[in-house]
Structure 1
Amino acid sequence: MSTNTTNYNLVKPGLNETADIEVINQNMDIIDSGLKNVSDKADGKISKSLATAANQFLLSSAVGQFVVKTVDEIKSLLGLGSAAYTNSNTYATAAQGTKADNAATQAALNTHLSDTTTAHGINNKLNVSTYNAHIAVSATEGAQGHVQLATSAEALAGIAAYKAVTPIGLEAKIADYGGIVGKSGSCTIVASDRNKVVYVDSVTASTVTIPANATVAFPVGTQITFLQSNVGTVTFAPASGVVLASKDTKRTIDGLYASSTLIKTSTDTWFLIGALK
């Protein structure tokens, strides 16, 4: 009685049976088909005969074709010349990052970095002088250009007209307006008094001195309001070089709970207005 093989189901006639040519041909067809499948799957595989030696690489030169290249040949293809290299198992050491330097590479890099005829990384080879001239153009009310951020001090002083104010600078500017400052007697006004209300609480006469711009550079437009909150009189006195203008040259606050305001109108000129005597 005939049996069949395990993998390809080939017919195996029994020992007491006569060989059947048709069965033999069927077996041959099965074997032929199986071999063809194996051959098709082998296409595109790298032949063992192409195994490389140490420090060599296998490169595809065309579909189904391969060539062996040495390390030096690979470096040449990559434009590395004779640059040194390190084994992967020595990476992450103190020497990492120093393996690819040589005199020729460094010289070429230095030449590139010293090139001032074109701007690095700009495809149309924009002239550096033109590029530098472009970035030097500042924006104004009537012209486009680059905008620089103002410092908090610039925002507070109201200078640098064509600079942008940051949130921090704006916060400082807003905080600069308002607030109350207390004085207990004679004093010289300071930068932190700017745009504040100052109350003078003293039972004896007090003098408020206005410093020269060279001493305290209050911005033009600064206003400081003074309140007399006790019985001591409050009189204003300009420092040397400072002009203090007031109606009828009056410079003393007109009594308890009265107020007067200093206004800076130019570099060293202040006006004094309010209840004066």
Structure 2
Amino acid sequence: MSGATEGVVVVTGAGGALGRSVVTLFLEQGYHVAALDRSEQALQDASATWKEQGLDQFHLAACDQTDRSQVDAAMSQAVAEHGPLIGVVANAGYAKFGSFLDMPARDWERHVDVNLTGTFHVCQSGAQQLAQARNGGWITVISSGLALYHSDQVSAYCTTKAALLTMVRSAAAELGVHRIRVNAVLPGVIDTAMTRGMLEQDGVRDGVLAKTPLGRLGTESDITEVVQFFASNAAEWVTGATLLADGGQSLYGQPTWTTQDRRIPHEPTWGPGYAAAP
């Protein structure tokens, strides 16, 4: 991946910890970046940090990816301001705990709207821009290790993240003729504000670490390094691929955020996934 290139990279979920890190990566490489996020305040906070670092080749777009008209408008604005689209990082997502039996339908639908349909909007809109420009390009989708491995009380998240892998393969197959590469990154547990609430419960952080073969939680930079690979010339012959970046956590079925005692029929008892540290 070489910088100072005419054109623009679009990153969604740019106001969150991982999204900010991805945007920073491309800015440091000399790219123009369109930073999209549903929260305008999160974007403003992130932009202040980028400016402090002397990184100013970006523009902000408050965009709810569940609204196709907003996505198309953001893509068009990015191209109008910075030239042809180079690539897309579809990073924005949604997660909420809830048992399968009691989950409100609106929670399920929100996962589908944001994680699946919203990501489709971003990928298709980006692909249309790339195909029209006839310069090739790439799309990288941030899925999750939970797309492959189950964890209790996050069934909607697991399901929608798993569906993205089929979408990635389908897009890669059909968009290759336009020389557009489509791949997915599957992060494990990374230490961010989103996961910290769970990690700080008694025993959870130690429990995850004890069953992570590489002995530490992931960081934003661990994931951005994989994003960088998929965007680079080193991945010119890689499409339809999924790369699991989780320090080996999935080898032991991690994360186990919650557990259920199933010994007594019809009396499910939920508890923490890890015992408190002694």
Say yes or no: TM over 0.5. no
- Which is richer in helix? 2
Give the number of the structure whose alpha-carbon radius of gyration is greater: 1
Higher RCO (C-alpha 8 Å, min separation 6)? 2
TM-score by length of 2: 0.20
Higher strand share: 1
- Return the TM-score normalized by structure 1: 0.20
